[in-house]
Amino acid sequence: QKEVEQDPGPLSVPEGAIVSLNCTYSNSAFQYFMWYRQYSRKGPELLMYTYSSGNKEDGRFTAQVDKSSKYISLFIRDSQPSDSATYLCAMSAPTDSWGKLQFGAGTQVVVTP
């Protein structure tokens, strides 16, 4: 069983809709949670970075962490065609101080005009 599970999609939504993405994980030691966006034939770029539980908002993006359920979410409001990409969740534990990240497989999102 993978440490981090993520539905591969594709998730297709109309422009303006809310995109809801999530990951589940099994390692209770994870404390740092990230969402990366990856366009086709490009490298991942960091979108959101949260520590421990709670919510974080940045513009149209909201990240939520529920450590009790081992579940993290990313919401994209007022989605645009430019949001079409693969979204990767990643997480790490404090014991992995050299920066070990455990990635989900990524969810492909398609926003249609």
Partner 1 sequence: NAGVTQTPKFRVLKTGQSMTLLCAQDMNHEYMYWYRQDPGMGLRLIHYSVGEGTTAKGEVPDGYNVSRLKKQNFLLGLESAAPSQTSVYFCASSYGDISNQPQHFGDGTRLSIL
Summarize as ranges the residues that interact with partner 1 (CB under 8 A). 4, 6, 8, 32, 34, 36, 41-46, 49, 51, 88, 90, 92, 94, 96-101, 103-106
Query: Which one, 17 or 102, has the nearer CB to partner 1?
Result: 102
In total, the chain counts a number of residues equal to 113
Query: Which one, 21 or 44, has the nearer CB to partner 1?
Result: 44
Smallest gap from Cβ 109 to partner 1, in A, equals 16
Query: Which one, 49 or 75, has the nearer CB to partner 1?
Result: 49
Smallest gap from Cβ 14 to partner 1, in A, equals 27
Structure tokens at 29: 């030691």
For residue 112, the one-letter residue type is T
Are residues 49 and 57 in contact, defined by beta-carbon separation less than 8 angstroms? no
CA distances from 11 to 8, 34, 50, 81, 85 (A): 8, 20, 24, 13, 10
